[in-house]
Structure 1
C-alpha cells in the first residue's frame, strides 16, 4: 500500500439495486457521520482514538488489517501487550458506537489476527466520491465532462482530510487529498482558460490561493487571467499580493519571471503568446521534482535559501519546501 494514497473501499455487494447508505461519512474537515436512522444529529463515536480508529478502518476497508500492526501504529510507545489490549478495548467501543447504524449486521469484523470494517456496509464517503470524480476527469475526457467532474470534486473538499484528528497516520492521506484538490483546481483553471471562460478561471485560481497563499504559479495565472479580461489594475494588485504572501510565508521575493511579467503588464506590453505564465508545477532550475511532504512555515525560508529537500520533497507553486529542519 502506498503511503501517500489510501486504498479504495470495496464497493458494497448488492442484488442489482442501488444500496441504501447506512450513513454519510464526511472525512473532509472534521469527521462527521450522518445516518438516516439518527435524524439530523451526527453519530457520536466517543473519544478521539475511537474516531481515529474508525477513520483508519474506513479508508483501508478493502483489505483486513493486521491487528498487531494496527496496535503498534496507534500505540507505538506502549509495550506490545499493552498496545494489543488497548486495541481490543477500542474495537469494542467502536462496535458499540456503530450499533445504531446496523443493529442486525456486524460492522467491525474481527477474524483471527485481522480486523476490517465490513466491506459490504454501504457508507457514502465524501473522500471516495472525491476520488471518483477526479478519476472521471482524466486527460482523455471531454472538456465539459472534465469541468463538471473537477467542480464536483473540489466542492466536496471542505477542508483538510480529518482535520480534527492529530494522529501521525493521518498525515499521508491528508497530504494526498490536499495535493489532489490543488491539482484539480489547477486543471480546472486551465480548462476554463482554454475555453476563454476567464471569470471561472479566476474563481478556480482564487480558490487555490485560499488553500496555499504562497503558491506563486497560481498568482501568475491569476495575474494573466485578470490582464486578459481587461483588468490590468487588478493584475498588478495581484502581483503585490503575491509579493506580500511570499514575504510573509517564505521570506522570499517573487521569481524574476514573475517580476518581469508584472513590469510588462504595467507597461501594457504583456502578451500571452510571447510570455505565458509558467505551468502550475514549474520549479526553479536545478531543483528536482517529486511528490512529498510540506514543512511547517518556519522552515520554508530555509528550504528556499539552502536548496535542501525533504525526503520525498514537495513543490508549492514552483517553490521547494523542506521539512528536514523540524
Structure 2
C-alpha cells in the first residue's frame, strides 16, 4: 500500500505520515523544504535552485552542503515520500499526498470556472463552497518562520496573501447568497459575515450586510451596535467615516424603516468573481476622507465582463483572473490586455515615466543624484540589491556598501530587480527595514512594476531609477 502524507498549512503547520502526526523532525528548514516540494509537485527541482531558495546569502558550495545536511535529515523520516537524485529533489509521484492549501486552491478554481461559464451560485455550488472554506483554519503557515531564508519567506508571503484574498472573496459571495435566500438563511449569512470580518475588519460592505441581516431577524440593537463598531474601526484605522450608504441604512434601522431584499431563486443569482471582489473591497483603504454618494446601478451594457485567465509570459501556465504571481513558476504576471497599466496589474504607484520595454539597463542615482550606478539588466534572472558581508563570499549584484548602506539600514539581500515581460519589477526580499516605491512600502515578496523616474528607497537609502 502506498504511503500517505498529509500536510496542513492553514493556521500553522501539521504533518501526518500514514495518519500519525510527525513530531520528531524539528529542523525548520527541513520542514520548509518539505512544504515547498509538496506545493510544487509538477517536476523535480534542481539542487542549485533549492540551495539558493534557502541559503541565498551563502556561496553556492556552502549552500549545496547545507542542502545535503537537510536532505539527510528529511530522509530519516520521509525516504519513501521523496524522490532524490544527485541532481534534483522532488516528491515521489506514487505518494498519496494531501495538502490543505492546494486542495482549497483547486476547489476555488473549480468555482471560478463555473463563474467564467456564466453559471449561477445555486445551493449545490454554495454547499461546495462552504465545504471548501472549512479547509481554511487560518493564514498559510501562520506562526511558521524560517530564519535567513528570504526567498522562501517571500514565496510563502505571496501564497498567504493570495489565499487570504480568495477566501475573503468567496465568503463575500456566500453572504450575498444567504441575504437573497429569505429568512431561513439569514442566520447563516450573519455567521458568514462575522467570519469574513475576522479576516478583514475594515470590510465596510460586509459590516453593512451584517447590519441588515441582524435587523431582519429582529436584533435591532445588535444591528445598531454593528454600525458603531464599523464607524469606530474606520475612524481609528483609516481616519474616515462610513459611507453614505452605510449611514442611511443605520438611520433606517433606527426608525424601523427597512425591507428585506427581493428574494431570488437559485438560478437567478450570479456567482461573483472571488478574487476581484476581495481586491475591490480593500479600495476603501486608499480612499480620501471625502465621501460621495454611491453611484447609480449600471445598465447591463455598462457592466464589466468577467475577466479571462491570465497566461504567464514565462511558462505559459493559465492563471485565474486577478492573480499577480504565476502559480506554476512564481513569475510576475502581466495581463495581455493591460500591459503597461500598473494600477490594474501589480499595484505600482502611478508616475509619468515610461516602461522598461527594450531598455538594456538602468541608472541608479544616489545621494541627492550626486552619484550614480550604471547597471545592466539581464534577460533572465534576478539582480539582487543589498550590501556585501565580510562573513560571506556571496555578494549582491548591486552592492550599496559604498553609499552608507549599513548606516541606512540596507539588508544584505534587500530587494531584487528582474525583467518580467516588457516590464522591470522590484521585489522586497523580506528586508529588515523595508523597500519603498514612490513612498509606498512593499510587503515582503510583493512584486511591483518600475517606471522611468521612480523613487526607490532601500531602508533609509533613497535612490532614483532611470532607464537607459
Q: 1:127 to 1:255 in 2, by over 3 A?
A: same
Partner residue, 1:30: 12
Partner residue, 1:135: 109
- Aligned-residue offset at 1:114: 2.5
Q: 1:203 to 1:289 in 2, by over 3 A?
A: farther
Counterparts of 1:170-185 in structure 2 under 5 Å? 170-185=156-171
5+ residue gaps in structure 2?
A: 146-152, 263-276, 288-342, 349-437, 449-456, 460-468
Distance 2:345 2:186 in 1: 30
Partner residue, 1:124: 98
Partner residue, 1:102: none
Deviating beyond 4 angstroms after TM superposition, the runs of 4 or more aligned structure 1 residues are 270-274, 284-293, 306-313
Distance 1:259 1:142 in 2: 29
- Aligned-residue offset at 1:45: 2.4
Match of 2:218 among 222, 225, 230: 230
- Aligned-residue offset at 1:312: 6.1
Partner residue, 2:208: 220
Match of 1:52 among 32, 47, 68: 32
Which has more helix, going by share of residues?
Answer: 1
| RMSD across aligned positions (CA) | 3.3
Partner residue, 2:352: none
- Aligned-residue offset at 1:161: 1.1
Residue aligned with 2:7, SS:
strand
Distance 2:19 2:53 in 1: 33
Higher gyration radius (CA): 2
Counterparts of 1:299-310 in structure 2 under 5 Å? none
Match of 2:243 among 255, 274, 279: 255
Which has more strand, going by share of residues?
Answer: 2
Partner residue, 2:67: 87
Partner residue, 2:140: 161
Q: Does 1:266 align with 2:258?
A: no
Distance 2:249 2:224 in 1: 10
Match of 1:244 among 209, 214, 232: 232
Distance 2:161 2:286 in 1: 25
The answer on whether the counterparts of 2:39 and 2:99 sit within 8 Å (CA) in structure 1 is: no
- Matched positions, count: 274
Partner residue, 2:324: none
Q: Which has the higher contact order (CA 8 A, sep 6+)?
A: 1
